[in-house]
Amino acid sequence: LQSQGPEEAKAFISAFLKRSMPKMKDEAIQDVLTRKAVVLEHYPKKKAKQKRKKTKGFTAKQRRELRLFEIEPEQQRYTLFLPLHELWKQYIRDLCHGLKPDAQPYMVQGKLLKADLHGAIVTVTKSRCPSYVGITGIILQEFKHVFKIITKEDKLKVVPKLHNVFSLEIDGFISYIYGSKFQLRASERSAKKFKLKGTIDL
């Protein structure tokens, strides 16, 4: 093997770089040659990202067909849900820090607006439909537009929120729920900002 001179070595490296890095221009290759160390770039092939399959839940139609939210007739008993009401009262007391006599009413009202009402005892105090007035019972289910209430007579009532006013009492504090302003799912209410003042109608 014959040793190469500086010029031959430079020509070899220049040709090698052109083959190894075809995207680089001659000026860039010359700039690389002025450095003592040469780092060859590698362009890996991009791997195609695999899309994750999202697990889909039941549709509203499927839930109705499976009767997931229906309460069986033998379970429609008021006394059966009294323990749920006791749990709800303790939940509200903890949420409102004890419901002390000196508690500010607007603070308690703000907490109740976002609270879970499953287990609360409510009464329809005003309604555009007179047949709803006076219905009292424990809220078993809350949907966007209706409450399902079990009465002391063991009757399951479906009461619309629209055009109805509900009263709710706990430890002497009475709160009123205007259903027309309350048409949200329970999960949506927790994130909603309610206005304390505004027009109130049925």
pLDDT of 132: 95
CA gap 95, 99 in Å, rounded = 9
Question: In this structure, what token pair is assigned to residue 30?
Answer: 């010359």
pLDDT at 40 over 60: no
CA gap 196, 95 in Å, rounded = 19
Burial class (CB in 10 A: 0-12, 13-18, 19+), 141: middle
**Which residue type sits at 15?**
A
In angstroms, the first-to-last Cα distance of the chain is 102
Which residue from 10, 5, 8, 56 is spatially nearest to 32, judged by alpha carbons?
A: 10
Give the pLDDT confidence of 137-181 residue by residue, as tens digits.
Answer: 999 999 889 999 999 999 999 999 999 999 998 888 888 888 888
Q: Give CA angle at 59 (147, 68), nearest 5°.
A: 50
pLDDT of 147: 93
Rounded to 10°, the helix 6-20/26-33 angle is: 130
**Which residue type sits at 63?**
R
H-assigned helices in the chain: 6-20, 26-33, 60-66, 82-95, 105-114, 186-189
Domain boundaries, the chain: 7-42, 74-191
Give the pLDDT confidence of 61-87 residue by residue, as tens digits.
Answer: 877 777 777 888 888 999 999 999 999
Burial class (CB in 10 A: 0-12, 13-18, 19+), 115: buried
pTM, to two decimals: 0.64
The residue whose two tokens read 């007179």 is 130
Which residue from 166, 165, 164, 173 is spatially nearest to 107, judged by alpha carbons?
A: 173
pLDDT at 197 over 70: no
Give the pLDDT confidence of 91-148 residue by residue, as tens digits.
Answer: 998 888 777 767 777 777 778 888 899 999 999 999 999 999 999 999 999 988 999 9
**Chosen CATH of 74-191 out of 3.40.50.1980, 3.10.20.30, 3.40.50.970, 2.30.30.210:** 2.30.30.210
117's CB contacts (< 8 A; 6+ apart) are: 88, 139, 142, 147, 168, 186
CA gap 202, 107 in Å, rounded = 24
pLDDT at 1 over 50: no
